[in-house]
Amino acid sequence: MFTTKVDWQRANHDEALIIGVWSDRKKLEGYVKEIDEAFNGHITQLFKEGDISTSYKALSKLHTFGIIGAKRLYFIGLGRKQDSSYERIRAALGKVVKEIDRDQRESVSILLDTFTTENVAIEQMAHAFSEAILSASYTIQHYKERSNQRDVWLKAVTVYTKEEVNRALQEGAVFGAGLNTARTLVNTPANLLTPSDLIGTAVELAISSDMEYEVLERADMEKLGMGALLAVSQGSVEPPKLFVAKYTGGEKDAPYLALVGKGVTFDAGGYSIKTATGMVDMKSDMGGAAAVIGALEVIGKLRPQTNLLFVIPACENLINGAAMKPGDVITSLSGLTIEVKNTDAEGRLLLADAVTYAKQLGAHAVVDVATLTGGVSVALGDCTTGAVTNDETLYHQLKQVAAHEGELLWLLPSHQPFKDMIRTSDVADLTNSSGRLGHAITGGLFIGTFAGETPWVHLDIAGTAFSARPSDLGPKGATGVMVRTLARLAMQWQAE
């Protein structure tokens, strides 16, 4: 889809040419000056009269009437260069891509060097553009009589630049595809995405990437003693699954990083049933698994020299005569017993067994990602993912890559009183719920108990995985949060 060229004046068939314009420019220069000269200075006049705005994310369109090869110019305002950042430029690119998609343009080009800033490398801008081409044009499938599914309008993309950016363009497109895979999984209704369907997608990607994989069935879990995962699944006729893929891109004796994602494809809360309004979007309770699957897709295509495990426990949390009940005591794979105080605190039960299993498979470090608690949304809103860790070094690596990808993280405290709260059961080693106080923290620390001494970070995406508002990079609904961060961490992973 992507082609790189230097001479924009040979663009004879592009329907849209994207140009970045800065508000603190003193005069037209480079490509924009060349275009202005082709228009006999009229572009300068349009700037002076305000018909082309340089304000951040302001979009101005101009038909060329055959004066140059491209049919239309799309000027996107970038604001002041001193305020520039990777995420600001990516958002601006997302806005112009959305407009081009609405305009149904089949071929688009960009003067990438017009986005140049000291704050963001040209390779990052190329990555941001190709990622935005896929992510900003993403649409949610609906099931109305009149389908919204259409052929992708955009057929060809040309990048004009004096720099070598082909690798960055490829990488950005792969990231965008992985992000969209995660979004689609989360947006799919639960009756059309059972645990078997979710794991089936992971299996397909593992096969296409030539990764070793296994899928544990109920009988396998019973034999191994995965009492926590099995307990959650008891309320549904859909069988539980546990998927593991192994990627060995580095030395065989090099350490493995495990990415573990919660895969509850629908969460009614069990006997601690959710409210009607609180239940309606619970098809999204497998957002952690979707993020891991999206990262798996990225890794499978880019093939970094790292060693990775992808672990996804999947089931439904429903109610029937066999469902687990408040007060039940279950035995996890680790041997630790758990008193179930709240059946709606089920994600940590799946992850308890999944993290234990990842350790048994040889994981040197673990990152789990889950739509775990409503409390994280109360604390951090819908823009920031909460984190809990037992290892500052691993968290620092994760925070750095999250910042690189423009995804916001906040580390929650792990003080001893919080740890004590999950050991208040009179009849079991642990309780799966110690009440409302600090429950985003205690939920994470519950999982951390099973990580033990293994370096571990927990990411609670309950507030960030699903949005009621569209963004410049996509529609409302699933956000695909943490796909970029997990993929980037996996690509750069090394034990310290």
Binding residues for Mn(2+): 262, 267, 285, 344, 346
Q: Distance (Å, rounded) from C-alpha 477 to C-alpha 140?
A: 8
For residue 10, the model assigns a pLDDT of 60
User: How confident is the model at residue 9, as a pLDDT?
Assistant: 65
How many other CB atoms sit within 10 Å of the CB of residue 37? 12
Rounded to an integer, what distance in angstroms lies between the CA atom of residue 400 and that of residue 404? 6
What residues form DSSP beta bridges with 3? 158
Residues 6+ positions from 192 with CB-CB distance below 8 Å? none
Which tokens is 310 given? 């992808």
Q: What residue type is 56 in one-letter code?
A: Y
Q: How many CA atoms lie within 13 A of 332 on its CB side?
A: 27
pLDDT for residue 363: 98
> Nearest to residue 481, comparing CAs of 493, 458, 463, 469?
463
Helix-helix angle 166-187:122-135, to 10 degrees: 30
pLDDT of the chain along its 496 residues, tens only?
Answer: 788 887 766 656 789 999 999 998 767 888 888 899 999 999 999 999 999 999 999 999 999 998 888 899 999 999 999 999 999 999 999 999 999 999 999 899 999 999 988 889 999 999 999 999 999 999 988 888 766 555 667 888 999 998 999 999 999 999 999 999 999 999 999 999 999 999 999 999 999 999 999 999 999 999 999 999 999 999 999 999 999 999 999 998 899 999 999 999 999 999 999 999 999 999 999 999 999 999 999 999 999 999 999 999 999 999 999 999 999 999 999 999 999 999 999 999 999 999 999 999 999 999 999 999 999 999 999 999 999 999 999 999 999 999 999 999 999 999 999 999 999 999 999 999 999 999 999 999 999 999 999 999 999 999 999 999 999 999 999 999 999 999 999 999 987 6
Question: Do you know the residue count of the chain?
Answer: 496
Q: Which helix (H) or strand (E) holds 332?
A: none
Cα distance between residue 202 and residue 292, in whole Å: 9
The dihedral region occupied by 40, where left means phi > 0, alpha psi between -120 and 50, and beta the remainder, is left
Query: CA-CA distance, 362 to 309, in Å (whole number)?
Result: 9
Q: What is the DSSP letter of 303?
A: -
Nearest to 373 by CA among 434, 292, 427: 434
Q: What is the dihedral of CA 459, 460, 462, 463, to 10 degrees?
A: -90
Q: Tell me, what's the pLDDT at 150?
A: 56
In the prediction, which pLDDT does 154 show? 82
Q: Where are the beta strands (DSSP E) in 237-374?
A: 241-248, 256-261, 263-267, 307-317, 329-331, 337-339, 363-370
Do the beta carbons of residue 213 and residue 235 sit within 8 Å? Answer: no
Look at residue 69 in the predicted model and tell me its pLDDT: 85
67: its two tokens: 């004066």
Structure tokens at 213: 């994989």
Strand order in the sheet with 337-339: 329-331, 337-339, 430-431
| Domain 2-164, CATH homologous superfamily name and number | Leucine Aminopeptidase, subunit E, domain 1 (3.40.220.10)
**From 25, 61, 218, 274, the catalytic residue:** 274
Residue among 137, 130, 135, 215 at smallest CA distance from 168 = 130
Judge whether 390 and 282 are in contact, CB under 8 Å. Answer: no
Residues of each annotated binding site: 262, 267, 285, 344, 346
Q: How far apart are CA 77 and CA 79, in angstroms?
A: 6
Check residue 149 and give its pLDDT.
59
Domain 178-492, second-level architecture: 3-Layer(aba) Sandwich (3.40)
| β-strand pairing of 241-248 with 307-317 | antiparallel
- Going through 262-328 in order, the beta strands assigned E by DSSP cover 263-267, 307-317
Q: Are strands 263-267 and 337-339 parallel, antiparallel or unpaired?
A: unpaired
Give yes or no: 252 in active site. no
Q: Is 5 a catalytic residue?
A: no
Q: Which amino acid is at 165?
A: V
Helix or strand holding residue 70 (H, E): none
Which DSSP state fits 117? Answer: B
- Catalytic member of 71, 90, 241, 348: 348
Q: Is residue 308 within 8 Å of residue 223, measured between CB atoms?
A: no
Position 148 scores a pLDDT of: 58
Cα R_g (the chain), whole angstroms: 24
Domain boundaries, the chain: 2-164, 178-492
